[in-house]
Amino acid sequence: MNFSTSPVLVLTLPVWRSRFLVLIFLAGFAVLAGRAVYLQGLRNEFLQAEGESRYGRVLPINANRGRITDRRGEALAISTPVKSIWVIPEETQLRPEQLSRLAALLELAPQEIRRRIDGASRDFVYIKRQIPPELADRVAEMRIPGLFQVREYRRYYPGGEVMAHVLGFTGAEDVGQEGVELAFQGHLAGKSGSRRVIRDRLGQIVEDVEGIRAAQEGKDLQLALDARIQNLAFSQLKSAIAEHHAKAGGIVVIDAATGELLALANHPTYNPNNRTRLTGAQLRNRAFTDTFEPGSTLKPFTVAAALEAGRMTPRTPIQTSPGSLTIGKATIRDAHASGVLTVEQVIQKSSNVGAARIALSLPAESMWNMFRAVGFGAVPGLGFPGEASGRVRPHQSWRPIEQATMSYGHGISVSLVQLARAYSVFAREGELVPLSLTRIDAPPVSQRVLSADTARAVRHMLELAVQSGGTAPRAQIMGYRVAGKTGTAHKQENGGYAARKYVSSFVGFAPASNPRLVVAVMIDEPSNGQYYGGAVAAPVFARVMEGALRIAGVAPDAPMKPIELPPESEVAKESI
């Protein structure tokens, strides 16, 4: 058969069309070849990135958070290794039996796990954070595609509720949320690193490629806190609140020489290791954040202002008869009419009338300057979250009745930390030092607030207040001379003062011959029959101060003989 002459096989299309198609195919192959050369030879970043996204991943390297220790090196907060379970939703396929098993291990409802995976808006989602490594190993044995683990750290607090309000706690991301953990976040946290790895089709890591950035570990932090004194203070505060059926309370212990905070406790409190039922009342660090009217604990500062101004001496007589003083429409009263009292007896017997008369002999500015000089109306400056400044109104707006009541702690508000620091002025010969949460070795720079003579004179008055004839004989300690002052004040409520709600307090220091420690105690709403500071707060002071002095190795400065307390009927009742 002749193909060239067959009418069926004869090519009817023009020759140029077949050649044109050949040229198109050749051009297409050239374009593909050129694109291949371009991508693989000249710019291969895109293909490498796409490939690595399927087998490579950059994983974070968490930095270990620094430890927190007390002044003797005892661990107060440490980080323990844990693991967190996370998934890539688009790669995760859970069979019903796997879902049930995973839910049982993680103590989650199967519906909750499914909801987290299906509702994820990111390319990864956590299923459960911070689980024990042994539990994470059991999850890994299930070999679920798309399910991964990452090593993290969980904060553990050996002291539990005893240290809670000082240390605070960290959140799931190991970031400080309260207390020292928040105040020193930058110091403790460190910086996370990262590493590049290769994984197989099941998502398991098969090779560490390189470290991109090394993790920088957090720094340890040594507090001024003494764990032994802290435990003592907490236990005594807790017992007192239970004994007096009180609403709450706080206690602060300060080293008078250095300003270091040796103990700080509040109640109610919480366990930072288990915060599932944490409430706002438990979380509040009352010693720092709550303010209250200090009552008669403010009288020594009124007297100090008068002594500094040269208006009076400790022996100056003050007429308090008939036990009341009317200013305008208001009347100030004493618990007992005492007639003529010396200035030092005004402190010893806690006379409101006497304090008011002393205050009214002074310019309002003199009192205001004294209050501000010892730190009232300003934050303590420790950097602690929520530090309260309290309230001291400008003296230009004081009316006579306000100046009189402010002399015995009404119309002014302070925090317990502020009050403790202010009393260190009398313990330090008239000098005020900054407070410190951390242990310090060098002597702090102090500021002179009072003359040494005035500070010693007030210190003697405070010694009289805890002896027979004073308001706080129950603050005495065997073997040590003690100086301090009681405070009892009605609580403010609905714009006025509640008739049967009180704040009981005591602030003092010892040994009085050479003061080493300052202790301030506040009991909120005692309701078991007693509410005077001398009966409620002073015994707490005595027990804590006695134990703390012995822990600190402070030598006695008084005879080692049992304390003989006078009958309750002979104890001076402070005026409220």
* Burial class for 57, CB neighbours closer than 10 Å (0-12, 13-18, 19+): middle
314 is a domain residue? yes
| Stronger pLDDT, 172 or 526, i.e. the higher one | 526
pLDDT tens sequence across 162-202: 999 999 999 877 889 999 999 999 999 877 766 665 665 55
Banded model confidence at residue 115, pLDDT cuts 50, 70, 90: confident
Mean pLDDT within 476-502: 91
Nearest CA among 116, 78, 74, 79 for reference residue 94: 116
User: What was the pLDDT predicted at 137?
Assistant: 87
pLDDT at 3 over 60: no
Same domain? 297 vs 152: no
- Give the pair of three-digit tokens for residue 557: 């400065």
How many domains does the structure of the chain reveal? Answer: 2
- Give the pair of three-digit tokens for residue 438: 């951390």
* Domain CATH code at residue 166: 3.90.1310.10
On the CB side of 479, how many CA atoms lie within 13 Å of its CA? Answer: 11
Same domain? 453 vs 539: yes
pLDDT at 118 over 70: yes
488 is a domain residue? yes
Of the residues 200, 222, 244, the one at which a domain ends: 222
Amino acid 303 reads V
How open is the CA angle 382-448-303, to the nearest 5 degrees?
100
Same domain? 216 vs 259: no
Is the Cβ–Cβ distance between 370 and 301 less than 8 Å?
yes
CA torsion angle for 549, 552, 556, 560 (degrees, to 10)? 60
Region of poorest pLDDT, from 42-51, 427-436, 467-476? 42-51
Give, to the nearest 10 degrees, the angle between helix 133-140 and helix 96-106: 170
Banded model confidence at residue 275, pLDDT cuts 50, 70, 90: confident
Cβ atoms within 10 Å, residue 491: 16
pLDDT at 210 over 60: no
Banded model confidence at residue 527, pLDDT cuts 50, 70, 90: very high
User: What was the pLDDT predicted at 203?
Assistant: 53
What is the separation, in whole angstroms, between the first and last Cα of the chain?
Answer: 134
| Stronger pLDDT, 81 or 364, i.e. the higher one | 364
- Looking at every residue in the chain, the average pLDDT score rounds to 88
Same domain? 503 vs 459: yes
pLDDT at 11 over 80: no
Q: Is 296 a catalytic residue?
A: yes
| Stronger pLDDT, 55 or 413, i.e. the higher one | 413
Is the Cβ–Cβ distance between 376 and 394 less than 8 Å?
no
Same domain? 125 vs 173: yes
User: What was the pLDDT predicted at 293?
Assistant: 95
Nearest CA among 470, 547, 535, 545 for reference residue 508: 545
Of the residues 222, 239, 261, the one at which a domain ends: 222
Which of these is catalytic: 18, 84, 100, 296?
296
- Give the pair of three-digit tokens for residue 88: 């890539």
- Give the pair of three-digit tokens for residue 576: 């409220």
* Domain CATH code at residue 240: 3.40.710.10
Distinct helix (H) and strand (E) counts, the chain: 20, 19
pLDDT at 121 over 60: yes
Domain range spanning residue 518? 227-570
Same domain? 126 vs 197: yes
Same domain? 176 vs 243: no
Same domain? 249 vs 335: yes
Same domain? 206 vs 240: no
Mean pLDDT within 455-460: 97
Is the Cβ–Cβ distance between 76 and 179 less than 8 Å?
no
pLDDT at 570 over 70: no
The backbone region for 138, taken as left when phi is positive above 0, alpha when psi lies in -120 to 50, beta otherwise, is alpha
467 is a domain residue? yes
| Helix, strand and coil in the chain, % to nearest 5 | 35, 25, 40
Is the Cβ–Cβ distance between 241 and 267 less than 8 Å?
yes
The 3-state DSSP class for residue 546 equals helix
User: What was the pLDDT predicted at 141?
Assistant: 86
Mean pLDDT within 533-544: 96
- Give the pair of three-digit tokens for residue 538: 């002073």
Same domain? 202 vs 241: no
User: What was the pLDDT predicted at 471?
Assistant: 93
148 is a domain residue? yes
User: What was the pLDDT predicted at 19?
Assistant: 77
**Rounded distance between C-alpha atoms, residue 409 and residue 371, angstroms:** 11
User: What was the pLDDT predicted at 171?
Assistant: 86
Buried/exposed 73-89: b ≥16 CB within 10 Å, e otherwise: eeebbbbeebbbbbbbb
Mean pLDDT within 446-451: 95
Q: What is the CA radius of gyration of the chain?
A: 37
User: What was the pLDDT predicted at 166?
Assistant: 95
Total number of residues shown for the chain: 576
Nearest CA among 262, 233, 231, 237 for reference residue 249: 237
Q: Please give the distance of CA 410 from its chain centroid, rounded to a whole number.
A: 28
9 is a domain residue? no
pLDDT at 281 over 70: yes
Same domain? 157 vs 232: no
pLDDT at 126 over 90: no
536 is a domain residue? yes
Of the residues 222, 249, 269, the one at which a domain ends: 222
207 is a domain residue? yes
Residue with tokens 């490939």: 51
2 is a domain residue? no
Same domain? 176 vs 261: no
* Residue 573 DSSP code: P
User: What was the pLDDT predicted at 212?
Assistant: 60
